[in-house]
Copies of this chain bind each other. A is one copy, B any other.
Amino acid sequence: MHSPSRSVQAPIKSSLIDPDGGKLVDLVIPESERASRVLEAQALPKVSLSKIDFEWVHVISEGWASPLKGFMREDEYLQSLHFNSLRMKDGSVVNMSLPIVLAIDDETKERIGSSTNVGLVGPNGDLIAILRSIEIYKHNKEERIARTWGTTAPGLPYVEEVITSAGNWLIGGDLEVLEPIKYNDGLDNYRLSPQQLRKEFDSRQADAVFAFQLRNPVHNGHALLMNDTRRRLLEMGYKNPILLLHPLGGFTKADDVPLDVRMEQHSKVLEDGILDPETTIVAIFPSPMHYAGPTEVQWHAKARINAGANFYIVGRDPAGMGHPTENRDLYDPDHGKKVLSMAPGLEKLNILPFRVAAYDTVHKKMAFFDPSRAKEFLFISGTKMRNFAKTGENPPDGFMCPGGWKVLVNYYESLQTEEGSQQPAVLSA
């Protein structure tokens, strides 16, 4: 058996480890060349991007998926689907667990004809990128879904949002983004690229960076894990471990808390001193969410390596959800960390599995679950937490800092004053 602890290595003596050698692709065209490329792009056949396609353009352009230089061609797609990794020309292997692909329909394929390059048009109609040396190949949706999610049951959020209505072709190629991707939603200052994050870690003289991926509000159980990780890293000999609190900013399912609310909640958690602002960087991870469990957790970790993280915190059932048609978790809750610890291309990542945190009803705080007094612990799932906030009921004292909780309550109150029909559906149990 692989022991997850095998991956916790000796302390790093000098400056920040850079597991991928620091070479990130940067696919944004230099300003000096912009005007000529825009002219070129205008003359090309166009492909329209959905909101989520646009998020992937953002992800690729900043190097989160590096060494990927654009949407996958078929050889990359097949390796991702079958091996969750890519073999590079020098024989090295990089992790690449999710197919990062762009679908087009028959009519678009027809319109592209024999053109080798296409222009990509964002959801608001702006020309945002060129895709070069394109390759168009078949989009077998059933196979893609089965191999990515391990199920083809109806009701997978990403499948319903993106794949079901997508075209029967995929178009791969090298991406050139005309200017840095912005959303103009008041949160762009949180959208630090991997390069910017690396610079920030350097300027803070981090000797360890531990990343925490989340798509939910931060409760005190999460904070316990993060603070405990810092303690462990200090014990291991690191002098200045920095936490990358890295909420996912792309597509999430309808009943997840929206990004702007979560960002406000995260700010309160730092204001209230639950996490230490001196040793924490809060930034947005621009990827859409697949809810593909063990397959997706590899992507979540790999992208953070690209941003300079060398420790990754993984808990129960990462990127998991309830089975869409059966009354059980879609994935074995332990498979995420097991698969992550064995994943090709992630051998150098230090994986930090942790015990489950739950509400200790005796000490009235979030604590690591102690099986010897199991009855004294209360498990509060994301769904349960959202239900508390929706119904206006307070969670037990010590579950979340008051400032953060208020943000959630306000959000759900604002939903209830809107039309009932706009209330998001609860997809997972």
Q: Interface residues, chain A, CB within 8 Å of chain B?
A: 1-2, 73-75, 78-79, 82-85, 87, 91, 93, 135, 138, 140, 142-143, 146-147, 149-153, 294-295, 331-332, 335, 338-339, 342-344, 347
Contacts and interface: CB of A to CB of B under 8 A. Distances in A.
A343 B146 contact: no
Contact of A140 (B142, B295, B332): B332
Given A149-B146, A151-B146, A332-B138, A344 B83 contact: yes
Contacts of A338: 74-75, 78
A172 B379 CA distance: 33
Given A294-B82, A339-B78, A87 B344 contact: yes
Q: How many copies of this protein are present in the complex? A: 2
A82 B295 contact: yes
A335 B338 CA distance: 29
Contacts of A339: 78, 82
B1 A75 contact: yes
> DSSP majority for the A interface?
mixed
A344 B74 CA distance: 17
Contacts of A331: 143
Contact of A147 (B74, B93, B138, B146): B146
A331 B144 CA distance: 12
A287 to B, nearest CB: 19
Given A1-B75, A75-B2, A343 B83 contact: yes
A146 B142 CA distance: 10
B147 A142 contact: no
Contacts of A91: 347
A299 to B, nearest CB: 13
A342 B85 contact: no
8 contacts: A1-B135, A75-B342, A78-B338, A78-B342, A138-B332, A140-B150, A146-B146, A152-B152
Contacts of A75: 1-2, 338, 342
Contacts of A342: 75, 78-79, 82-83, 87
